[in-house]
Chain A
Amino acid sequence: MGKGIAIRWVVALEPESIAIRKKFQMTRVAHSGPYPVFKDIADCHWLTISGVGRVHAAAATMYLHQVSNAPPWAGWVNVGIAGHAEGTYGTLYLVDKIIDKSTGRSGYPGPVLSSTLARSSLMTVDKPETNYGNDLLFDMEGSAIFEIACRLSCQQLVLVLKIVSDGPNIDIAELTSKMISDLVSDSISEIFKLVCKIEILTKKEHDRLELPVAYYAIKKKWHFSQSQEYRLMHLVKRWQATAQNKKLIPYVGECKDAKSVIRKLSIKLDNHEVDWGKG
């Protein structure tokens, strides 16, 4: 169950995490690290709470990557509250442009998911922003999480979701933990729908990137040098593409060493003719 699904959540505040942890039945992972970490029973969903600000957000993202042994096909999701000049309190936005105020750099979470969610640009600032303007969302972590998560996975698997919590008519200082927790809780079904779509993409990426079982079986039986391992990996993938994967192990079973495995596979594949009519 859940093979290939890998989602990593990063939130800034503990109340932002409550509804997510509940939804995925996450429990705390025992550890002594700098950021609390939670995971679900299937090890598919992991979550960390970074604390406020870009430095913590970047560090916690990296930390979660290490602690959870996140694969390169993992989807990364940042959910959090944000300020907005005109947005209605409680509106959930899918962020598609992130401006880092301190560096002036922009990032573009490129949505490849179909979604009816409202979309907006986000500006990540270093101090709470009360000068709302320019039809932007304001937060203090988004740019850092996005930048690091893109390095760990890819832009198309990073989701930044913000819920309007404050604005010209809602004072940020009056927000309580309960209000923050409720904001996420009220949007959890929308968030869940989107994350289900990301799960499908992570599964696809898993299937693309995960090395075939046969590769490990062969590596276990014979000793391969590093360059031979690379060649083997390429050959096994080619073999798989020919739809003969079930026959691979017996095919090389009699080989006496790694070199002869590679030679035998190379000869076979270099003479393979694709049957295009097979459909």
Chain B
Amino acid sequence: MIDTIYIEEDVRDHPRTRSILARFNKARHISIERYGEVFNKRSQNFRLQKLKPALILARKHAGHILRAPEGFGIGSRKNFYFAHMFNCLYDCRYCFLQGMYTSANYVLFVNFESFVEQIDNLIRQYPNESLTFFSGYDCDSLALESITGFAAHILPEFKMFTSALIEFRTKSIQIQPFERIPPIDNCVIAFSLMPEVMSNALDHKAPPIKKRIQAMKILAEKGWKVGPRFDPLIHGENWKTHYQELFDQVFTTVPNYAIHSVSYGPLRFPLAMFRDIFKLYPEEQLFSGPLPQRDGIVAYKSEIEEEMAVFCHNNFTKFVSDTVVFQCTPEAQAIGRAK
């Protein structure tokens, strides 16, 4: 339950701010000038703050839409990502946000219209190219939907952008915004998945895997396109058995015709980020395993990464076409082409 809301003076009278404040009328409201004065302070403790995060209502002034790294994509030539929020309701132990931000507070940028405007500008800038926009990079796309209403706002807008694709990446089962309207062709609802035993240990506060798969099924049956996402791949004892069970469960539950794409990617952290995360959670089993550092990146040993990637790819292609399977790494597609 949110009991503290910081509000940038600049957005105090924004209709979205007013509506959120009305919902949390018992919360303490604290005025601030810019969100950074609360969010970016270095002396914060992410782990302790995660016990009771506050909400920060702010305006996004610049950098609404950013280029996705090379090798990150699901078929388009140009890929972009954006985040209407920073931070997440969930507390997944592998999440890079815990190493990226000093604060666990949720920042919500209430000027949704500016995101749509910037997307529109990019589509006009590249009239003959297929573009994909990823939502849910610095947050979960849907986890706080009941408060933000972001998906409900942007979905009708995206219906007009027929040349572009939008992906909502989530672990949430709050799929109401999609249930309320007819399916939109250029929208993919992508669910992050991992074997249940791993998710139970790592995806704190997130819905169980079975429920996520069920949500995917419901959306698929309503005509939405969905995308199972196996990123990051987690290693451990009997990982093949665990993943095999998960793949069987996903691809026998979710109708094949609704699967827009399947993607997978390795567990990787920049070294500095890994150090911060390890310092926050030294007792975490995930970090006790074979995670050496090479070229400033902490990841499973390359033979493990490769074995996992090949295993996944070979399994996916038993269920879906090779053309909709994507590996999200700088070495993208290499395995797909080679195998």
Binding site for B on A (CB under 8 A): 96-97, 106, 108, 110-114, 119, 121, 150-151, 154-157, 201, 204-205, 207-208, 234, 237-243, 269-277, 279
Contacts and interface: CB of A to CB of B under 8 A. Distances in A.
Interface stretch (B73-81, B192-200, B206-214, B325-333): B192-200
Contact of A274 (B45, B54, B195, B285): B285
B45 A157 contact: yes
B237 A277 contact: yes
A279 B200 contact: yes
A272 B43 contact: no
6 contacts: A106-B32, A151-B43, A270-B290, A273-B237, A274-B286, A276-B197
B67 interface: no
B107 to A, nearest CB: 14
B45 A156 contact: yes
A155 B4 contact: no
Task: List 7 tightest A-B contacts by C-beta distance, closest first.
Answer: A241-B288, A150-B43, A156-B48, A154-B45, A274-B236, A276-B197, A112-B52
B143 to A, nearest CB: 20
Contact of A156 (B38, B49, B281): B49
Contact of A272 (B197, B282, B289): B289
Given A111-B52, A154-B45, A240-B283, A277 B30 contact: no
B28 interface: yes
Contact of B43 (A121, A155, A239): A155
A155 B6 contact: no
B44 interface: yes
B234 interface: yes
Contacts of B6: 108
Nearest to A270: B290
B283 A273 contact: no
Most buried by A among B43, B44, B52, B54: B43
Nearest to A273: B237
Given A150-B43, A157-B48, A279-B200, A241 B285 contact: yes
Nearest to B39: A108
B23 to A, nearest CB: 19
Contacts of B278: 234, 237
Q: In the complex, which of the residues A151, A154, A240 has the most CB atoms of chain B within 10 Å of its own CB atom?
A: A154
Nearest to A238: B288
Given A207-B283, A272-B289, A274-B285, 7 more contacts: A106-B32, A108-B32, A108-B38, A110-B38, A155-B41, A208-B281, A241-B285
Contact of B28 (A96, A208, A237): A96
Nearest to B280: A208
A112 B44 CA distance: 11
Instruction: Identify which of B30, B32, B235 gathers the most chain A CB atoms within 10 Å of its CB.
Output: B30
Contacts of B44: 110, 154-156
A276 B288 CA distance: 12
Interface string B33-57: 0000110010111011101101000
A119 B32 CA distance: 16
B30 A114 contact: no
Contacts of B292: 270
B153 interface: no
B287 interface: yes
Nearest to B242: A276
A273 B284 CA distance: 13
A83 to B, nearest CB: 20
B128 interface: no
A270 B288 contact: no
B301 interface: yes
A154 B48 contact: yes
B261 interface: no
Contacts of B236: 273-276
Contact of B198 (A108, A271, A276): A276
Given A240-B282, A242-B285, A112 B48 contact: yes
